[in-house]
Amino acid sequence: MSTIAAPAPPVAAPRRAWLADLPVLLVAVVWGGSYLAAKGVTTTHTVIAVLVLRFALVLPVLAVAGRRRLRALTPAQLRGAGALGLVLGGIFLLETYGVVHTSATNAGLIISLTMIFTPLAESAVRREAPSAAFLGAAAVSVSGVVLLTQGAGFTALSPGDLLILGAALARTVHVLLMARIKAVQEADSLSLTTVQLGTAVCVFAVLALLPGTGASPWAAAADFGAAEWAGLAFLSVFCTLFAFFVQMWAVRRTSPSRVSLLLGTEPLWAAAAGIAIGGEHLGALGFAGAALVLAGTAWGRRAGG
């Protein structure tokens, strides 16, 4: 469950780039584990509450760390970041509801289709045909998702699989908007992320007040045991706060493509966590589908659309 990547300053010397690899790889690992953690912490009736708690815990840290740059944002930048925050809130709602209704393995692999959807959407916006290699990669990835989700027999996708697929499409919209809202392109990445997460938390808080949206954050927190608090801390501290600051640190010491490649291993770690820790079972067709998804997304990244 990734957050927002920082823009790239000049690249450091290649011989030092490897020093940034391990923390970035650790971010991919914790993001991969976030699906299983969210599944362990969240139920159908506590999705909104968990989202409020997860981001409200880290938002003050981000706000304090970037308070000077937050004050420097222009009204146009605030509006742009707020609009992106609405989309980001939708992404987290789709992802979290989705992971409640599907396996952590499926969630982590299906969400990786964002790497296929985004270049396809960019090609459509630019009215340019994607390369044959990229279309081949997309076909491999989609075939992998079919095998992954239909390994027990060809039936309709589960509600959770469809929600995660929707989250992948919403991530694509988010990326396209970030590239096209001119006001945010020169904004400081920490301030931009803080405003987006703040907007998303406001959306979650409003939803939590509506009847029929599940337990309140306070009621959910009161019912948490040690395992749930540990899972929430993992989501808040490692998957959000730690991940964002590592990205900001690493992208200044290595190349954006190197960071992107390492973060692209997230679905592999999601599958590993679901199988090794969550006790999930894919079966032969499921493993074949997982391999195709990983191969297709890796091929698609190289093909570049």
Contact indicator for 79, 183 with CB cutoff of 8 Å: yes
Considering only residues 207 and 295, tell me which one the structure prediction assigns the higher pLDDT.
207
Q: Which helix (H) or strand (E) holds 256?
A: helix 256-263
Structure confidence at residue 255 (pLDDT): 62
Q: Give the contacts of 111 (CB within 8 A, at least 6 positions apart).
A: 95, 164, 167, 168, 171, 267
Residue 182 exposed, middle or buried by CB count within 10 Å (0-12, 13-18, 19+): exposed
Output Rg (C-alpha) for the chain, integer angstroms.
19
Tokens coding 263: 């973060």
Q: Band of the pLDDT at 282, cuts 50, 70, 90? A: confident
Task: Give the pLDDT of residue 197.
Answer: 94
DSSP 6: P
pLDDT score at 288? 85
Q: Whole-prediction pTM value?
A: 0.84
User: For 181-206, how does the pLDDT look when each residue is reduced to its tens digit (9 = 90+)?
Assistant: 888 888 888 898 899 999 999 999 99
pLDDT digits (tens, 9 = 90+) for 92-148: 999 999 999 988 888 888 888 887 788 888 888 888 877 888 788 888 888 887 777
Amino acid 219: pLDDT: 93
User: In this predicted structure, what is the pLDDT of residue 245?
Assistant: 86
Mean residue pLDDT across the chain = 84
Report the 10 Å Cβ neighbour count for 304: 11
- Among residues 102, 86, 119, 89, the alpha carbon closest in space to that of 162 is found at 102
Please report the pLDDT score of residue 95 as a whole number: 94
Q: What is the mean pLDDT of the segment spanning 249-274? A: 74
Residue-level pLDDT at 20: 63
